[in-house]
Structure 1
Amino acid sequence: MSSSAFFKFSPPMRLQPLACAVAWMVGAVGTAHAQSQPVSTPPAAVLPDVTVSASGLQQTSSDMTMPVSVLEGDALVQQRQSNLGETLDGEPGIHSSHFGAGASRPIIRGMDGPRVRLLSDGAPIHDASTISPDHAVVADPLLATQIEVLRGPAALIHGGGAIGGVVNVLDGKVPTAVPAKGYEGSAELRASSATHERAGAFSLTGGAGNIAIHLEGSQGQADDYRVGRGWSSGRKVEGSFNDTDSASLGVSWVGERGYLGLAYSRQNAYYGLPGHNHSDEGCHVHGLHLHCGSHGAALEHDDEHDHDHGEEHGVPVVDLRSERVDVRGELRNPLPGFSALRLRAGKTDYRHHEVEEGTIATTFRNQAHDARVELQHLPIAGWRGLLGMQVSQRRFEAEGEEAYIQPTDTRTQGVFLLEEYRWDRWRFEAALRHERQTVLAAGSGLDASHHGTSVALGAVWKLVPGYQLTASWSHAKRLPTAEELYARGLHMATRTYELGNASLRTETAQNIDLGLRKTAGDTTFDVSIFHNRVKNYIYGRTVDELDGLQLLQYSQQDATLTGLEGRLHQRLHRHWGVTLFGDVVRARLEGGNLLPRIPAARLGARLEGQWQAWQGHAEWVQVARQTRVAAFESPTPGYGMLHLGLSYHARTSSGQPWQVYLRARNLNDRLAYAHTSFIKEAAPLAGRNVTVGVRMDF
């Protein structure tokens, strides 16, 4: 299947909305250049304090009882990549699962998959990314207005299973207000060297009276990316191309006390799967042992398939389509004693084909719907908070060569409560959530029911002006997923044979987090240490290995994860500053064994400068060698990378802000491997890559 065959529209029609927006933007920038008025903002003497939407009570980042990372504005423009995992990679405590350029999930404090809850403006994202790292996350960073990463009591209201954290991607697909001048929007265009990427996005909101309409879209096309010098397989990762496009149309009724809106979104993706290996075809299990080929003839099977996958079979690709309808609303002062009523509901129709040699080999489908209602109450004896309920149903099925998970129907119900109390220089927070889940395996008739109650407590003490101490404790329950319960079969993308375990029990995590922040002055910092003890930790235990193919059996064992993460900024001059940042996590099973794919320790330094309308930075990131490996896992060498960034900000004569930016990553062209990746040897990290972009808001 060719890339053009994937899209239902011809290229001219598919590009038309984006091309019109980009053409308008480029023309406007060209006209405005001679009349532009530089924008100069002196370096801030305080840490940025932004509202965290996913906190439930609209808390600011300085009020949070746990570390929170918020990307917005120019920082988001500079940092975002083609997928969510790579966009967040580099924030303290956050890494990427890295599966080529098309698929990547964030890893938080060494945890990934279902332990990291992904949200779209507070509503769960339904795709197939929790099932396997080669499945893309259906969230487009190019269209995000803000990305939040949080943990602690506030994260509990989004699911007890989010013991790693919550990532909330904010967007404008459902407008919440009518623009004062009748319209507003943005347009952006960028290109990159290592992948020959061409990408762009636009957003437009308009309306009159009580009606607001929002239209947005993006498109990106990238070839196989180049890696650093010295890789034995050459300079490019075969099958690492990535073509995506997204579009959304939303309409809202906006009144004095709130809004109610509806949006339809569609995302298409067509990307390669590096490292796919046909030598594993026909492999099966005998008990807890792998066997490949006919009985007694495993070597003959290997000889038959001893050829280059790319030359004779072509690179497998994922042909993905996701459609979603969102309903969002908020009503202020809905009832006596209550300040706000919020609604989030959605229906998702997701499917992706895994295509080999032009033929669909496997199809994954995920049909889901969810609804969430929050009711925020006015203070009662000094306590302010919200209560709510959430329900979801997910019908997942796979068919074809790699249908290693039988069709399942997962139904989840949850109720939650979040409260805060302020006294003098203290802020206390408490959260409670109860969940019940039923998973029915349609193929076998088996079903599994689990339930759990989670609780969290936290406090912030502003001990003196500019200094804060934070502490939190949580006791969280995570319910097993359908994949962990019922998986059985070969997964060639990760070179694993997976065995589910229908006897898995509820996972219980107890986490303690202590932090210290300095938020004002020439020196600011935010550092935290955490200790997470998980009873009945669920993981894929490798019980056998044959020629690189691993047999994973989902098992349970107590585990401990301990780590440190932080960031320190020192203002050197009104135009200069330096930032140090880093993180480390240690993960161990009871008995001394180590967990697989735990990220290595990382330390970085950034020199930042600003003069009039110019901003720039130079950053060095050093990642340590990872020698603390699990059974059947190989060590990963460390590496150091140099990144640079430069941007120019101005306004047109009519006051419209625009910017031109340049960023260079891995400028030293270092060959590097991500220890968190299943395919680290087949898909190293990208080599030297220079991105140039232009953006305008209007």
Structure 2
Amino acid sequence: MPTSLRNTGGAALRPAFPLARSALNAGCLCALAAALPALAQSTPPAALPPVVITGNPLGSDSLATPASVLTGPGLVLRRASSLGETLSGLPGVSSSWFGPNANRPVIRGQDGERIRVLGNGGATLDASALSFDHAVPIEPLVVERLEVLRGPAALLYGGSAIGGVVNAIDNRIPKSPLEGHAGALELRGGGAARERSTSALLEAGTGTGGTAGRGFVLHADAFKRRTDDLRVPDFDRPVESGGSERRDRIVNSASDAEGGALGGSMVWGQGYLGASVDTYRNDYGIVAEEDVLIRMQRDKLALAGEWRELGGAIRTVRARLQATDYEHEEVEGTGEVGTTFGNKGEDGRIELEHAPVGGLKGVFGLQGESAKFEALGEEAFVPNTETRQWALFIHEELALAGASRLSFGGRVERSRIESSGDADSAEPKFGAAQDRRFTAISAALGGVWDLAGSLGDGWQATGNLAYTERAPASYELYANGVHLATSAFERGDADLDLERGGNLDVALEWKSGARRLRAGAFVSRFSNYIALLRSGEADFVSDEGDSFPVYAFEGVKARLQGIELEGAWRAIDDAKGSLDLEAQLDALRADNRSTGEPLPRIAPLRLRLGAAYSLAGWTLRGDVVRAQRQSRVPADDERTPAYTLLNLALSKQLTVGFSDALLFVRLDNATDELAFNAGSIATVRELAPLPGRSLSAGLRMSF
């Protein structure tokens, strides 16, 4: 473990909510899912229905927008130290892979501001979209359900959901009544980073159970995770002096994370009203620099409620309000803080479901968000900014014959993005204070068609046509400085216009018990796509004499198109056990139509084949993942070689006393193949291969 992590691992946080922190310290001591039998949810009273929650305010059985869900044993077996690595490998989903700690999800080749990462439907208000080395402050250990929407979901969640949505769902604000108590404990160890982690939650209720039950429910959870430098197959790591050195670890990739939450709700038959306070802390090394540590902390207070069956014109009201205080310090090897990033803000939304009008059902609502961002230090490449947004949205569904239906809606979003300019006029860097205002309009039309009459039971077709607009992010407008994570001088453009694009997504799907098939295709065309591109001007030379290529944000024409195929088949199902076979393929082509070059950091064609045999609670699973060579790269990037990974897992469901348990052992990258992620930025890709062969084990118990 790097010295910097050892020295700061126990450093005290500066809480945004001191009383809440004191309360926490006192109170807090599908590929795989399809192959495993059902297991009780980690928190039984909060068991979620088998429908997608995100982007589905009316609780429909299926969506026009393609979605993936991880929960139960499938989520337990996929958990990793970052959100991006946990989700990577789902259809159309990869990760930015800045080593094992800083990984944002990448959906259909889009990341950063085009992917909306949510916690229980609320904004994370962090700094992860600003830079690849900034982690998402969501801990997979305490998440009970992960949902991914692929394609535009901007109507309900904002212009930054133009590429997709990831929603991490927990039960920190309970929504269901509980008699007595329930809880869960999870222990994990091993792996390529020698992970040592534990998480626990406990819930207690004072009321009666059942759908009409009422009473107060209290929730508490806590987690702790530590990792060492990630072990990888032997590779040649470039060094600053030129040449390379042979390594079998990713330098400076250890981490130390912990956190917890307290929450409670008053629950009754027609709704709930509750609050939670949670804290997250993560100290982790920056793989691009051998002696730099990020010391991150995030505190959040959330209020949420729902009231159903109101009668009259408005049937249901749902609301959520959050206050977030995020900060991270970039600590040099000497112990000095080089740069500090902070983001403080509030976000809230209210949804109102109206009474049906004929066959028409729908919701409309208001969403607002305000955030003050600060970057302090010599290496800050963006000024202090303040962003305020509010939006009106509507989503409607019209029932057709059988299970078919149409959905349509729109969103109007108003944004104001202000730059404070130079803090010291004697050292000009960002210019005078300025602000930009934008009005973005998005609309979508989708449909789900039941094809049972023409193709047979279980067949359906889906389609979604969307037009989306996104206001530029603050750094896309105002950046002006050396960005060490990308080893480039980045320059924003305060005159940027709205990002505009259209998307068409179609799919044909069949389901019958444990068997399913899905074939989908999509195309997105942008008339103005905000990209960070090499400017062509001379390199920038710093005061220390270091040279950095100059990149600038500019609007270009772009096209992204691809296919996604999924299938699962139960080949055997008898007294001798069950055998499930799975296959998945996705392919994406992304082009800068203004220059004729490919867009950067695009995942190659990927194929996954899996098989799982289950008998008497035991499940043995094998997966082969093949990623083709990525040769379609812009001139300033490098090609990424193909690779094939073999992963094995053995799990057992059992009962221990009054608890249900899942015991598992995993062998990842069994052949110890050297592999690189095409989605990583070029300057880090050669420093951070994917994990090598590793053995890990874990136990999750729920009661």
TM-score normalised to the size of structure 2? 0.87
Contact 1:329 1:343 in 2 (8 A): yes
- Take 1:49 and 1:580, find their aligned partners in 2: how far apart are those partners? 26
**Structure 1's 40 and 441: CA in aligned 2 closer, same or farther, altered over 3 A?**
closer
- Take 1:177 and 1:355, find their aligned partners in 2: how far apart are those partners? 43
Write the deviation string for residues 545-590 of structure 1: whole angstroms up to 9, x where unpaired: 8698432100111100001112111221111121110211111111
DSSP 3-state at the match of 1:74: helix
- Take 2:400 and 2:503, find their aligned partners in 1: how far apart are those partners? 25
The equivalent residue for 1:520 is 512
- Correspondence 1:378 to 2:355: yes
The equivalent residue for 1:56 is 56
Q: How does 1:621-636 map to 2 (within 5 A)?
A: 621-636=625-640
- Take 1:136 and 1:335, find their aligned partners in 2: how far apart are those partners? 44
**Structure 1's 137 and 469: CA in aligned 2 closer, same or farther, altered over 3 A?**
same
C-alpha deviation, 1:117, in angstroms: 0.3
The equivalent residue for 1:471 is 463
DSSP 3-state at the match of 1:87: helix
Contact 2:411 2:443 in 1 (8 A): yes
Gaps in structure 1 of 5+ consecutive residues: 23-38, 43-47, 277-309
- Take 2:236 and 2:178, find their aligned partners in 1: how far apart are those partners? 52
DSSP 3-state at the match of 1:361: strand
- Take 2:63 and 2:7, find their aligned partners in 1: how far apart are those partners? 47
- Correspondence 1:189 to 2:187: yes
- Correspondence 1:212 to 2:217: yes
- Take 1:516 and 1:417, find their aligned partners in 2: how far apart are those partners? 27
**Structure 1's 611 and 200: CA in aligned 2 closer, same or farther, altered over 3 A?**
same
**Structure 1's 155 and 518: CA in aligned 2 closer, same or farther, altered over 3 A?**
farther
- Correspondence 1:681 to 2:673: no
Q: 2:618 aligns with which of 601, 614, 617?
A: 614
C-alpha deviation, 1:151, in angstroms: 3.8
**Structure 1's 40 and 403: CA in aligned 2 closer, same or farther, altered over 3 A?**
closer
Q: How does 1:157-172 map to 2 (within 5 A)?
A: 157-172=156-171
The equivalent residue for 2:277 is 264
Q: How does 1:583-602 map to 2 (within 5 A)?
A: 583-591=586-594, 592-602=596-606
- Correspondence 1:440 to 2:418: yes
The equivalent residue for 1:407 is 384
Contact 2:5 2:293 in 1 (8 A): no
- Correspondence 1:659 to 2:635: no
- Correspondence 1:695 to 2:694: no
**Structure 1's 93 and 534: CA in aligned 2 closer, same or farther, altered over 3 A?**
same
Contact 2:472 2:497 in 1 (8 A): yes
- Take 2:204 and 2:6, find their aligned partners in 1: how far apart are those partners? 34
Structure with the bigger RCO (C-alpha within 8 Å, sep 6+) is 1
- Take 2:511 and 2:37, find their aligned partners in 1: how far apart are those partners? 22
TM-score normalised to the size of structure 1? 0.87
- Take 2:38 and 2:300, find their aligned partners in 1: how far apart are those partners? 40
The equivalent residue for 2:450 is 462
C-alpha deviation, 1:161, in angstroms: 2.9
The equivalent residue for 2:45 is none
For 1:222, give the aligned amino acid.
T
For 1:329, give the aligned amino acid.
G
- Correspondence 1:493 to 2:496: no
The equivalent residue for 2:307 is 331
- Take 1:409 and 1:594, find their aligned partners in 2: how far apart are those partners? 33
The equivalent residue for 2:642 is 638
**Structure 1's 57 and 153: CA in aligned 2 closer, same or farther, altered over 3 A?**
farther
C-alpha deviation, 1:50, in angstroms: 2.1
The equivalent residue for 2:32 is none
> How large is the RMSD of aligned CA atoms in angstroms?
2.3
The equivalent residue for 1:482 is 474
- How many pairs are equivalent? 632
The equivalent residue for 1:25 is none
DSSP 3-state at the match of 1:676: coil
Q: 1:530 aligns with which of 511, 522, 540?
A: 522
DSSP 3-state at the match of 1:677: coil
**Structure 1's 362 and 502: CA in aligned 2 closer, same or farther, altered over 3 A?**
same
The equivalent residue for 2:210 is none
The equivalent residue for 1:36 is none
The equivalent residue for 1:29 is none
C-alpha deviation, 1:177, in angstroms: 2.7
Contact 1:55 1:155 in 2 (8 A): no
C-alpha deviation, 1:421, in angstroms: 1.3
Q: 1:248 aligns with which of 226, 249, 261?
A: 261
Contact 2:73 2:662 in 1 (8 A): no
- Take 1:330 and 1:4, find their aligned partners in 2: how far apart are those partners? 45
For 1:189, give the aligned amino acid.
L
- Take 2:5 and 2:384, find their aligned partners in 1: how far apart are those partners? 29
Write the deviation string for residues 107-166 of structure 1: whole angstroms up to 9, x where unpaired: 000000010001111111110001011101011111111000014575521113312101
C-alpha deviation, 1:77, in angstroms: 0.3
Write the deviation string for residues 81-132 of structure 1: whole angstroms up to 9, x where unpaired: 1110000000010000001122100000000001000111111111000101
- Take 2:163 and 2:286, find their aligned partners in 1: how far apart are those partners? 27
DSSP 3-state at the match of 2:687: coil
C-alpha deviation, 1:381, in angstroms: 1.9
The equivalent residue for 2:131 is 132
- Correspondence 1:322 to 2:298: yes
The equivalent residue for 1:670 is 673
Q: How does 1:343-362 map to 2 (within 5 A)?
A: 343-357=319-333, 358-362=335-339
Contact 1:121 1:171 in 2 (8 A): yes
C-alpha deviation, 1:494, in angstroms: 2.0
C-alpha deviation, 1:393, in angstroms: 0.5
Write the deviation string for residues 202-245 of structure 1: whole angstroms up to 9, x where unpaired: 11111214221110011100000011234453100111111111
- Take 1:151 and 1:474, find their aligned partners in 2: how far apart are those partners? 13
Gaps in structure 2 of 5+ consecutive residues: 14-20, 30-35, 40-47, 208-214, 238-245, 422-431, 540-545
C-alpha deviation, 1:594, in angstroms: 1.4
Contact 2:28 2:221 in 1 (8 A): no
DSSP 3-state at the match of 2:671: coil
- Take 2:86 and 2:353, find their aligned partners in 1: how far apart are those partners? 32
DSSP 3-state at the match of 1:519: strand
DSSP 3-state at the match of 1:161: helix
DSSP 3-state at the match of 1:114: helix
The equivalent residue for 1:34 is none
- Take 1:171 and 1:40, find their aligned partners in 2: how far apart are those partners? 22
DSSP 3-state at the match of 1:503: coil
- Take 1:406 and 1:336, find their aligned partners in 2: how far apart are those partners? 49
Write the deviation string for residues 504-555 of structure 1: whole angstroms up to 9, x where unpaired: 0001110001101111167421121000001110010012586984321001
The equivalent residue for 2:407 is 429
Write the deviation string for residues 449-476 of structure 1: whole angstroms up to 9, x where unpaired: 1111100011111101111111110001
DSSP 3-state at the match of 1:598: coil
Contact 2:152 2:468 in 1 (8 A): no
C-alpha deviation, 1:601, in angstroms: 1.1
DSSP 3-state at the match of 1:215: strand
- Take 2:480 and 2:37, find their aligned partners in 1: how far apart are those partners? 59
DSSP 3-state at the match of 1:412: strand
The equivalent residue for 2:583 is 580
For 1:514, give the aligned amino acid.
V
C-alpha deviation, 1:3, in angstroms: 3.6
DSSP 3-state at the match of 1:157: helix
Contact 1:154 1:418 in 2 (8 A): no
DSSP 3-state at the match of 1:200: strand
- Take 1:56 and 1:372, find their aligned partners in 2: how far apart are those partners? 15
**Structure 1's 2 and 75: CA in aligned 2 closer, same or farther, altered over 3 A?**
closer
Contact 2:83 2:104 in 1 (8 A): yes
Contact 2:28 2:260 in 1 (8 A): no
- Correspondence 1:5 to 2:18: no
